[in-house]
Amino acid sequence: MIRAFARLPIALRVPLLGVGMMVLVGLVASQQVISALTRTQEARLAELTRQHVDGLSLALGPSVLRQDVWEVFDALDRASRAGEDRRMMLTVVADVDGRVIAATDPKRAPVDSMLSDLVDLDAVPDLHEIALSDGNRHVRVLAPLLYQDRDVGRILTELDVSDLTTERARAAMALLLFNMAATGGLAIVGYIVMRRMLRPMGVLTGRMSADQGRPTRFSDEEVPSGDTEIARLFHTYNSMVDAIEAKADAERRLAERERLVSLGRLSSSLAHEINNPLGGLLNAADTIETYADRPDAVRKSAALLKRGLLHLRDVTRAMLDHNRIEGQSGDLGPQDMDDLRLLVAPEMRRLGQRLDWDIALKKDDLLGVPAGPIRQIILNLLLNAIQAAGRGGHVSLSIRALPSGLRIEIVDDGPGLPEPALRRLMTSEPASTGGGLGLRFVRDLVHQLDGMVEHGRKDGATRIVILVPGMAKQEVA
């Protein structure tokens, strides 16, 4: 019940809570009114009964002492026909021993019968204990018959209180109807008011749900006026949107700067890789030009030219493959691994590093695995590992085929990833300045492939493992 209530819209929950509180207050107030009315009726009934008993005591005292049945009966008969005493349905007069002397209805209370045979004397209240109860139209009262301060008998009176109970029932019904009308009217008004008050919240919630991760600002015309708290909430939402856009813009600029830095570092290394064979090619061209009449020298120089040009072709092709569009890349193959090794070799030679290259893959293991994302992942992680290992460092790459896909492991003996870089690799938190945006690029690529990234630091080495599921293989199968 509570869970179902909690799932209701707040515009409905608040009025319902208000209705519940009003119903509770109405019930308490109605109970107090009915209780006050009952106390008033009981006090009036007790006063009427006391006057009746006092009058009878004064009139019947001598007759009761003389045990004059006819005098007592005559006095009772006159009293039952007079004014308010008509409320008295039955009056029985008994002596001190409880023997009936006379009654307004001799059939119900015969003369000389015992009063205890008519009623349970212990259950009949006295004048101070008269109480009206629901459903009880008659009330009995037992009072002493006093004459000249002497207790000369007992008076049992049965009163008709049907008019009082009817009056109380009508009052209760009137209160109930009034409370229902007031509660229903206030509930409707409360619902309308709450809907009106919460309408801006619904607009805000709808905008946030429709944005799907791309929040947009509210225009000045859309910000509600008059309600400073709601307006402040809208302005806060606009500030949040501005902050998100500024953060995303800064991340894009940082990513572009990181890409340019990585490209510059890679281009510088490849420029050295190209510049070295160019010197040999120029020497070979000079030799051919100088010794054109010597076939053996020309053949040797031509062979040198061919080897140099083939090397340049391999480097250029590796660069083109690295920058080709992902959607145009085919399946991963052994040549991609050779290109990756060729791309990182100049930087490793410059830093005097050692590379362990352990790739145990068959052609079937690479079937259906997209080359573009995998190349980008491995190259970015290798360049980061080379930079972290520093001069004379040690870097290793291991790739294995598992029943579930590919396992790529890169290890370096550098000082480890700083906290910002580690958050970019392992979480989707907004990127901050510093920390290597290439790692965020790696995480995004792995996420697109439904893969998983693992990181560990042990024995002075940083180990990053990429697990890529083999869903492409399953589709081919």
CATH code, domain with 259: 3.30.565.10
In terms of Cβ atoms closer than 10 Å to its own Cβ (0-12, 13-18, 19+), residue 125 is middle
Q: Is residue 178 part of a domain?
A: no
Q: Is residue 397 part of a domain?
A: yes
In terms of Cβ atoms closer than 10 Å to its own Cβ (0-12, 13-18, 19+), residue 329 is middle
Which structural domain range is residue 303 located in? 252-476
Q: Is residue 356 part of a domain?
A: yes
Q: What is the pLDDT of residue 475?
A: 37
Q: What is the pLDDT of residue 326?
A: 44
Same domain flag for 122 and 258: no
Same domain flag for 131 and 257: no
Q: Is residue 58 part of a domain?
A: yes
Token look-up 């691994």 returns: 337
Same domain flag for 326 and 446: yes
Q: Is residue 102 part of a domain?
A: yes
- The residue among 173, 201, 220 that closes a domain is 173
Q: Is residue 258 part of a domain?
A: yes
Same domain flag for 291 and 416: yes
Q: What is the pLDDT of residue 463?
A: 93
Q: What is the pLDDT of residue 177?
A: 85
Same domain flag for 278 and 382: yes
Regions of the chain short of the pLDDT cut 50: 84, 325-328, 434-435, 471-477
Same domain flag for 149 and 284: no
Q: Is residue 192 part of a domain?
A: no
> pTM value?
0.41
> For the chain, what is the domain count?
2
- The residue among 173, 206, 229 that closes a domain is 173
Same domain flag for 260 and 163: no
Same domain flag for 359 and 260: yes
- The residue among 115, 144, 173 that closes a domain is 173
Q: What is the pLDDT of residue 328?
A: 46
Q: What is the pLDDT of residue 320?
A: 60
CATH code for the domain of 72: 3.30.450.20
Q: Is residue 200 part of a domain?
A: no
- The answer to whether 162 and 194 have CB atoms below 8 angstroms apart is no
Residue pLDDT, tens place only, 196-212: 777 777 777 777 776 66
Same domain flag for 287 and 436: yes
